[in-house]
Amino acid sequence: MEEMHTNDSNEGASGPVDGSDSGEQNPQEENASTTAGQTGESIEEQIAALQSEADEYKDKFMRAVAENENIRRRYEKEKSDLLNYGLEKFMNDILPVLDSIDKAIPVDSLKDQSTAAESGSLIEGVKLMDRLLRETLIKHGLEVVADEGEVFNPEFHQAIQRIESPEVDKDMVQQVFQKGYCLRGRLIRPSMVSVAVPQSEA
């Protein structure tokens, strides 16, 4: 009888232990679940941080590219300006030579035929030199401002004389005293001209 009582009490004592194990969550499983949640949040935060860092580097890269392009453009402009300045200075120095050549070829002023015949070879040589020089300068961008018979343009012509004429209905270049020149579209010297203007009404 005593043995049976002992076994019953042991079974009763062990019963609640089994029941408590089945009703409660394992602490290790709870810790694992908490850790998994924390890890998930940490990964999202890391992705967001990496994305922000990537955007920052991209912005810096784009700024560097833009700045490099600006530097290149500034360099090209300064180089072009320096070249044009040197070329313009040279052209201004050469214009008096062209003026002298223009004055050296007044063939029509040679009224004496014998004198014209003797001077013919010299004049032809001057004409050839003038043509070659002008062709060379034109290759580098020199242009002659519009000549006689053109409409007067104050941006390119400097009027030193105005003559009323019944033959014109607007200001026209009548005579060029000194040729004007442009360099690559930019005026470096205006033409010195006389202008025929419409007659004023009496």
Domains and CATH numbers, the chain: 142-202 (2.30.22.10)
Q: How many whole angstroms from its chain centre is CA 91? A: 25
The pLDDT, as a whole number, for residue 136 is: 92
With the C-alpha atoms ordered 129, 132, 138, 139, is the resulting torsion angle positive or negative?
Answer: negative
Do 123 and 105 touch, CB atoms closer than 8 A?
Answer: yes
User: Using CA atoms, how far apart are residues 170 and 152, in angstroms rounded to an integer?
Assistant: 8
The residue count of the chain comes to 202
Angle, helix 113-139 to helix 27-103, in steps of 10 degrees: 180
Decide if 175 contacts 194 (C-beta within 8 A): yes
pLDDT, tens digit, 9 for 90 and up, residues 133-192:
999 999 989 999 877 888 999 999 999 999 998 888 899 999 999 999 999 888 999 999
Indicate yes or no: pTM above 0.75: no
pLDDT of residue 115: 54
* Residues 82-140 pLDDT 10s: 777 788 888 999 999 998 888 877 645 444 555 555 566 777 888 888 899 999 999 98
Question: Which amino acid, residue 47?
Answer: I
87/44 Cα distance (integer angstroms) = 64
The values of phi and psi at residue 164, to 5°, are -70, 140
